[in-house]
Structure 1
Amino acid sequence: MKRFILACSLLLLLLISAGALAQDIDAAIRQQVNVFIDEWHDDAAHARAAYFDKMAKDGVYIGTDKTELWRRDDFKAWAKKYFERKSAWAFKRIERNVYVGADKHTIWFDELLDTSMGVCRASGVIYKTASGFEIKHYQLPIAVPNAVTAPVTKIIKDFEAKSAAT
């Protein structure tokens, strides 16, 4: 009986240790992802071409306009004029939530950003490869406060009706 209790105790200790190790790995990945995304935003703020290298070749970027849905290379071509300046755009993290999949390779996140457009709540999917992280999907919507949704929606509808008429 003593051996059984000892074996159960050791098994429980191993399970607790494994759980703590998994949490430490997730925390380390979250920290690495925060650095990676902060660097990505900093690349844009300083118009560095490395910005696009952080996106997967088949990566998708969805901007604030309903027409802005690009694969990486198309996005790079569209943004070329912005990256010829000293700063393309500057997004500063207010807060970010990072989630790590069970495979430790699939990561998704959401973030509040301070931008020239006001506060945006962006989200993305990152994949961890043997050579590092790559952004597979990023979406940048403008955060519209609920209290002003009706007038903003009306402005958009009026704009689209006018655009359709021309």
Structure 2
Amino acid sequence: MKNKLLLLIMTMLTLGTMAQESEEKIITTLLNNWHQAAADADFEAYFGKMTTDGVFIGTDATENWQNDAFREFSKPYFDRGKAWSFTAVERNIYLNEANDFAWFDELLDTQMKLCRGSGVLKKENGQWKIAHYVLSIAVPNENVGELIQLKKEKDSLLLLQLKKGN
């Protein structure tokens, strides 16, 4: 009896691990296809992989795009046949126990050189969708001082504006 119980537990653990690995593969494919849709300027395929209430946070401090606004901003780039080209060179994916919510981070090769992307996905009607994505430019630690000086004036003005709004 103990052996059967142990075998059942081991089988369930193995199936759980296999299910998580399968979900990770599906998510990897979704993210790769999402980035490819941008590179191919396929507007419908790109936005079809996001939730209708999805958020895209860009590299500029003012870029906190809700889905409709991001579509409007992006449309001219897609219409010209060239949006942006991001290729993941490293990616980590994490899932909750129910395998219906995931988060990830990725290091990207882009036209801006190395960038970092991170995001949240959720399952909607059995399909994974990107609900939130954050893009940032990766800056080597030894260059942070230079970068601060480069953006100091603009950031100071923006901070004043933002603090007035609070």
Question: How many residues are treated as equivalent by the alignment?
Answer: 159
Question: Which residue of the partner structure matches residue 19 of structure 1?
Answer: 13
C-alpha distance in structure 2 between counterparts of 1:51 and 1:155, whole Å? 33
Deviation of 1:162 after TM superposition, in Å, equals 7.4
Match of 1:87 among 76, 79, 82: 82
| Distance in 2 of aligned mates of 1:126 and 1:40 | 12
Identity of aligned residues (%): 40
Name the residue aligned to 1:52.
Answer: 47
Task: For residue 86 of structure 1, report the CA deviation from its aligned partner.
Answer: 1.7
| DSSP-derived class of the 1:140 partner | strand
Cα distance between partner residues in 2 of 1:161 and 1:73: 29
AA matched with 2:37: D
TM-score (normalizing by structure 2): 0.90
Q: Which runs of 5+ in 1 are unaligned?
A: 1-6
Q: Which residue of 1 aligns with 2:123?
A: 128
Give the secondary-structure state (helix, strand or coil) at the position aligned to 1:141: strand
Residues 1:37 and 2:31 aligned together: yes
Larger radius of gyration: 1
Structure 2 portions without partners, runs of 5+:
160-166
Alignment counterpart, residue 99 of structure 1, candidates 71, 94, 98: 94
CA deviation vs aligned residue, 1:106-155 (integer Å, no higher than 9, x gap): 01111010001110111011112224111110000111111111111111
Structure 2 partner of 1:144? 139
1:20-76 deviation digits (Å, cap 9, x = unpaired): 111100000000111111000000001112111111011110000000001111100
Q: Tell me the distance in 1 between the aligned counterparts of 2:89 and 2:29.
A: 14
Aligned to 1:117: 112
Mean Cα deviation higher: 122-131 or 137-146: 122-131
| Alpha-carbon distance between aligned partners in 1 of 2:55 and 2:143, rounded to the nearest angstrom | 29
Could you tell me how far 1:158 is from its partner in structure 2?
3.1
Question: How far is 1:161 from its partner?
Answer: 4.8
TM-score normalised over the length of structure 1: 0.90
For 2:65 and 2:158, the matched residues in 1 are separated by 22
